Amino acid sequence: MKGLLLLMLLPVSSLAQDALFTADLQLLSRGEIRNGGMTSDPDDPDSEDKSAFILNRELLTLGYKRNWLESKLSVHHAGTWGHEGASGINLFEGWGKVTARNGLFAQIGRIALSYDDERIIGSDDWVVAPMTHDALRLGYEGHGHKVHAILCYNQNNRAMDEPGSYYSDGNLPYKTMQTAWYHYDVPKIPLGFSLLFMSIGMQSGTQPGTQDNQDAQDALMDDPPHTEWQFLYGGYLKYTPPHFSLECSYYRQTGHDEHRFKLDTWMATIKAEWTPNDKWSVNTGFDYLSGDDYVSVLYPGSLGLPQHKVNKGFTPTYGSHHKFYGAMDFFYVSTYVEGFTPGLQNAYIGGTYSPLKNLRFNIAYHYMATGIGLEDLNQTLGHELEFEISYTPLKNVTVSAGYSYMTGTKTMERLKRASSDGRLRWGWLSVVISPRLLTIQ
């Protein structure tokens, strides 16, 4: 009997030793003040162009890992101090993952996806409510190779019992998305490269509903619900010899957008960084994103509708846009006033200095210009100068502050309805507290 009891207890004891349970908390508060950004009323150039607010985010993450099984559950609350009404608690991540010994894995649930430098797919932690994807991810990782396949399909709850489907106002901007990603690290050389292919289905057509008049019924018959498909493909390369790194990427978009415009867009980037020691580094780079052949640059209050047969303005899909194109987020976070894009040229140089292990200073300069020429305006959008300081006084506590100044141009004013005096200012102060609450092994 004693031996039988020991035999029964052995698997339980082994299971307890192999299992790891963790609980983490993140508390973020960030105050921002802007003077000279976009006007509150795009049609009124005299509207007040100032704002000040404090954002907050509370994120609780539970993790579990045992041998081949791993799971994660993250709930978060995000809002603005004093916001009217309850913004609620939402599911940020919730997934389960099984991994075989040969490197094959399967993961399903709500996942924060991040690939390469996060230019095309990233969670963008700067945003208080970062993007996650409801997805099935299958893959293999081993011997320097990584292969991932991501499958997504979204639906509104109200349309589940209807014939067909129409996806709108959902948690994610697409109806369906399939992604294939391959990465390889070259042995004995500090070189890695990735290939990416995305197929994105965007909801289009007339939304079905109670067709209570003939015009509505005709519109539904002329333009029934359907999916417009766009495709993105390209690659990313990173070379990291001692004290130096070089990154470059190239992507194209084809297919059709949700408005049935044909897509023919592309982008290319290059970045170099020199790190002579652990105290400071210098980086420089250039981004080019294609733009439409003709962009309507109208004065406030004027009327007009640009006609496009082909959309040539590149859209960097679901990346971490705040990391690129300037910290003030004028580009690929906010839209242009007429809905089309002239593309972007972003030439930059910057540096990082860390006099102490827990103290870091950043400075960067950006020259911004449109990707295409304009009929009656210069291509230059402006010059942006950015400063940032980050200090970690205690473990799991970080205090950061930043200030950005941009001298805009008439082109910037017309395209973005920015401040007419050409001086755009933005500052912020952030406190992040992120302790690990519990570890059980």
Spatial distance between the Cα atoms of 437 and 271, rounded to a whole number of angstroms: 38
Percentage of residues in the chain having pLDDT higher than 90: 62
Nearest to 234 by CA among 273, 188, 289: 289
For 77-136, the pLDDT digits (tens) are 999 998 766 567 899 999 999 999 999 999 999 999 999 999 999 988 898 888 999 999
Phi, psi torsion values for 13, nearest 5 degrees: -65, -45
Is a pLDDT exceeding 50 seen at residue 8? no
The helix/strand/coil state of 123 is coil
- Taking CA atoms, 391 is separated from 361, 401, 432, in Å, by 9, 9, 11
Mean pLDDT of the 233-239 span: 98
In the prediction, which pLDDT does 255 show? 96
Percentage of residues in the chain having pLDDT higher than 70: 81
Q: Which region among 42-51, 189-198, 256-265, 320-329 has the lowest average model confidence (pLDDT)?
A: 42-51
Integer distance in angstroms from the first to the last C-alpha of the chain?
29
CA dihedral (114, 118, 120, 123) positive or negative: positive
Spatial distance between the Cα atoms of 284 and 302, rounded to a whole number of angstroms: 40
Q: Residue 157's pLDDT band (boundaries 50, 70, 90)? A: confident
In the prediction, which pLDDT does 156 show? 84
In the prediction, which pLDDT does 4 show? 33
Of residues 295 and 426, more confidently modeled: 426
Q: How many CB atoms lie within 10 A of CB 358?
A: 12
Is a pLDDT exceeding 60 seen at residue 47? no
Of residues 245 and 169, more confidently modeled: 245
Q: Which domains does the chain have, with CATH numbers?
A: 19-161+177-208+232-440 (2.40.160.100)
Where b means 16+ CB within 10 Å and e means fewer, 128-154 reads bebbbbbbebebbeeeeebbbebebeb
- State the Cα torsion 204-207-213-218 to the nearest 10°: 30
Q: What is the mean pLDDT of the chain?
A: 86
Amino acid at residue number 173: P
Of residues 251 and 164, more confidently modeled: 251
For 342-379, the pLDDT digits (tens) are 899 999 999 999 999 999 999 999 999 999 888 778 89
Q: Residue 74's pLDDT band (boundaries 50, 70, 90)? A: very high
Spatial distance between the Cα atoms of 255 and 263, rounded to a whole number of angstroms: 5
DSSP letter (8 states) at residue 441: -
Residues 111, 177 contacting (CB under 8 angstroms) = no
Q: How many CB atoms lie within 10 A of CB 201?
A: 21
Is a pLDDT exceeding 80 seen at residue 221? no
Is a pLDDT exceeding 50 seen at residue 10? no
Which tokens is 228 given?
Answer: 């417009």
In the prediction, which pLDDT does 198 show? 98
In the prediction, which pLDDT does 13 show? 38
